[in-house]
Structure formats: structure tokens, C-alpha cells
Amino acid sequence: MLHILRMLVVGLIIGILARFFYPGTVHINWLWSALLGIAGSFVGGLMARAFTNEASDQPIQPAGCLMSIIGAMVLIFICRSLLHII
């Protein structure tokens, strides 16, 4: 239960930061921001794994948070460009 709560809080922070850094306004609520951050962390992790051979059981690192934000911004771009959702 604590793991899920921590994942939602970190996802919310990542989602809010991605919305802040993305050019233009992104009209989504708090829950979608948390889901965006969680999905962005997944996408950012996949992008990072494409370039490194790091172990996955590492603690939270600034580079991982940055990749999560970039991953969330990529998802915003995809949703706006291809799907016209956000």
C-alpha cells in the first residue's frame, strides 16, 4: 500500500513538472497528472535503458527524475500530435 502511495506522489510531482516545462498549457487534472508522471517514468526508463546498461534496482537519482520528466513530455507531445487528446 505504501509503495502505491509513494508511486502516486512521485508520479504527481513528475507530471506537474512535465506540464510546467512543456510549452503551452496542458489542461489535465491532478489524477491525470499523476498518471502522466507514472507513465512518463516508464517511458523515460525505457529511453534510458536504450543508452545504458545500468541495474534497475537503483535508488531515486536526479538523472532518473529528469528522464521521467522528459518521458512525460514525450507522452504529452504524442497525445497532442497524434491523438488530439490533451
The pLDDT tens digits for 10-52 are 999 999 999 999 998 888 899 999 999 999 999 988 888 888 7
- Integer Cα distance of 37 and 15 in angstroms: 4
Residue ranges of the domains in the chain?
Answer: 2-51+59-83
Place of cell 528522464: 67
Confidence label for 73 from pLDDT (cuts 50, 70 and 90):
very high
| pLDDT number for residue 38 | 93
Statement: residue 57 has pLDDT above 70: no
As given in the structure block, the three cell numbers for residue 76 are: 504529452
Whether the Cβ atoms of residue 39 and residue 3 lie closer than 8 Å to each other: no
